[in-house]
Amino acid sequence: MSWFQSSMSKAVNVGNKNNLTRTVKNYADSVVQQASQAVAEGAKLLQDYTVISPLSYFVSLQPTLHIINPFVLMY
């Protein structure tokens, strides 16, 4: 994303810093910032899902298994 940000900065420098070029640069900066935050949040979610161990997954299923168990034993 830094190539996008640097190209917008160069466009502002060439454009004599009028209001339109400043607006474009500010908009581009906010787009880059939001995209960076989205990528960081996605990486956190991915890391959370990959760190879950099979044991912790089984422990989280235990209450469900206790509810299902009597019904399974009936058949």
Q: Write out the DSSP string of 32-61.
A: HHHHHHHHHHHHHHHHHHHH--HHHHHHHH
**What pTM does this model have?**
0.43
- As for how many domains the chain has, the answer is 1
Distance CA 75, CA 72 (A): 6
Q: What is the pLDDT of residue 15?
A: 60
- State how far the Cα of 45 lies from the Cα of 35, in Å rounded to an integer: 15
pLDDT for the residue 29: 82
10-residue block means of pLDDT along the chain (75 residues)?
68 67 79 83 74 63 64 57
What's the domain range around 53? 2-74
